[in-house]
Amino acid sequence: MKQTNYSNTAKAIFLTLGLMGTATQANAIIFGDDPFPEPEIPESSPPSAPTPTIYSRQDNRLYVKFTDNNDDENGYYLQRRIGNGSWVTVVSTGALSNSTYYFFDNGRTPDTYHCYRVRAYNQSGTTTSSSRCAYTKDGNDHEVWRAQLEVTTSGISNADTDNSVYVRLNTSSGIVQPNGNRTWVDYGRNDFERNDTFIYDLDIKKISELGDINQIFIGKTGSDGWCIEDISLKVNNFEVFNKNYTSEPSGCRWLDNDNGHVNYVAVNHSQLRAHNKWSNYNEDAALLLLAVQGIDNDEITSRIESMVGDQIHYEDLYWGHIYGAPVEVTYGCPTGTQNCSTIHVDLDLAADVNNLPDPSVDIDFDVDFQCANGQLSITTSNFTSSVNYSWIYDLFSLGLVNLLEGEIENRIEDAWQQIAQDINGVPDCNVFVTTAGDIVLEAAQN
């Protein structure tokens, strides 16, 4: 029997006219696509959960918010976890209509780790956001204007390292507060040599109070192992923590990836708080020492060297050792000047240039201090740069001066504010520089 193949056009005609053979009408076979399909009903899905933000911290309260980004939610749950505990719902809401929800979490315990997350729900289910965490403040309000790490490298064979070393005083995670104060440790000397003990100034970005220091994390890059014998953390020139590693099998703590070691050493929050020197820190004594000693030449030199060393880790610059010490801070006025308030800074650097001799980068500038109406203002002046290639100046030199203006001087100003407010109780000050390059801050006598 001959079989007829219908074209799509013919099929459409048959369907349109309803011309199906009477013998097969009851069990009609429809050829091709249905021209009148049933409308599709979209499947419902759970709403997305917005990530919360912890936007302010106190010792007994955390401020949390999240913003609705859905049109189909039935509501939200804000949940909290303390330490490593379980998640607990602390508040629930209905639909928010694209608004921001603010929650003041009262009755918190000082110096305690809290995490928050949001769960969004509707008739189709529930989704959960990522968490955001923070420590409540410790309630002591101990200001920090200087932090230093003293580290001793062991004398055993191969204990020294040429790798890059960094230090953090709180986490690098962006989801935890406070965070982000890493310092690449690079002074203009042979760092981390065997039997070497040295004190390094540290970056204290995002650390305004002692309680903001939640760890000591010392890490290194590369494969050149390093063995630490002893570490000590100093805050405002007072020791708040120390740890000795000579009782370990090697007589020191190895930082490498061999023999089951790791390339870092970490002191956590609970270890810091349990140390007797941490709990015995005396802010009044630190302020008194600052008031008596001022900011001497060694301190300002170390701070500048630390800040520049951290910065050049990200650039093709290194310490030059060409024109003398890597950082020199000296009296900045002509001989015989009365009440000099200027220091002179000399940086000795070099630039790593591919396929060319490395040019020296010698930077000189003055830092001027003025105190009026209770405000200490610090500015730079007389900037000069001696560089073999002019483009080096454009890329590096000015950026280093901006760094100094933005970081070191702010901490000097913070230190003075503590003296004026907490010890002397007067708003005005006198600033002068000794012939040795020390910065002296004293209260003006009314």
pLDDT in tens, 124-148: 999 999 999 999 999 999 999 899 9
**What percent of the chain stands above pLDDT 90?**
57
DSSP 105-159: EESPPTT-EEEEEEEEEETTEEEEPPPEEEEPP-S---B-S-EEEEEEE--STT-
Residue 290 has pLDDT above 50, yes or no: yes
Q: How confident is the model at residue 273 (pLDDT cuts 50, 70, 90)?
A: very high
- Please compute the mean of the pLDDT values over residues 40-47 and round it to a whole number: 72
- Above 80 in pLDDT, residue 246? yes
Bigger pLDDT: 325 or 230? 230
Q: What is the pTM of this model?
A: 0.83
Q: Is pLDDT of 407 > 60?
A: yes
How far is residue 87 from each of residues 69, 81, 119, 174, measured CA to CA in Å? 23, 5, 11, 21
417 has pLDDT over 80? no
pLDDT at site 421? 54
- What average pLDDT score do residues 17-37 get? 47
> What integer pLDDT is reported at residue 32 of this predicted model?
57
Specify burial of residue 212 (Cβ count, 10 A radius: 0-12, 13-18, 19+): buried
∠ CA 439-445-446, rounded to 5°:
145
Q: How far apart are CA 121 and CA 68, in angstroms?
A: 12
What kind and span of H or E run contains 390? helix 390-392
Query: pLDDT-based confidence at 306, cuts 50/70/90?
Result: very high
Per-residue pLDDT, 440: 83
- Tokens for 388, please give them: 């073999």
Distance CA 132, CA 177 (A): 8
Mean per-residue pLDDT, 95-107: 96
User: Regarding predicted confidence, which is higher, 373 or 197?
Assistant: 197
Q: Where are the beta strands (DSSP E) in 275-359?
A: 317-319, 327-331, 342-351
Residue 161, judged by CB atoms within 10 A of its CB (0-12, 13-18, 19+), counts as buried
**Whether pLDDT at 293 is above 50:** yes
Residue 7: pLDDT band (50, 70, 90) is very low
In this prediction, what percent of the chain has a pLDDT beyond 70? 78
- The C-alpha R_g of the chain, in whole angstroms, comes to 33
pLDDT value for 106:
98
270 pLDDT more than 70: yes
Quick check: 198 pLDDT over 70?
yes
Residue 74 pLDDT > 70: yes
Q: Answer whether residue 92 shows pLDDT above 70.
A: yes
Angle of helix 297-312 versus helix 408-418 axis, rounded to 10: 140
pLDDT at residue 64 in the model: 98
Q: What is the mean pLDDT of the chain?
A: 84
pLDDT of residue 302: 94
Q: Which of 270-274, 292-296, 424-428 has the lowest mean pLDDT?
A: 424-428
Is the confidence at residue 185, as pLDDT, over 80?
yes
CA within 13 Å, CB half, 374 = 9
Residue 197's nearest CA partner among 265, 144, 252, 272 is: 252
Mean pLDDT for 231-259 is 96
Reported as a pLDDT band with limits 50, 70 and 90, residue 191 is very high
The whole-number pLDDT of residue 23 equals 40
Pairing of β 183-185 and β 125-128: unpaired
Mean pLDDT of the 399-405 span: 65
In this model, does residue 280 exceed pLDDT 90?
yes
- Element of type H or E holding 416: helix 408-418
Looking at per-residue pLDDT, the higher value among 424 and 351 belongs to: 351
User: Is residue 243 very low, low, confident or very high in pLDDT (cuts 50, 70, 90)?
Assistant: very high
Q: For residue 406, what pLDDT is reported?
A: 67
pLDDT at 443: 63
Give the pLDDT confidence score for residue 149 in this predicted structure. 98
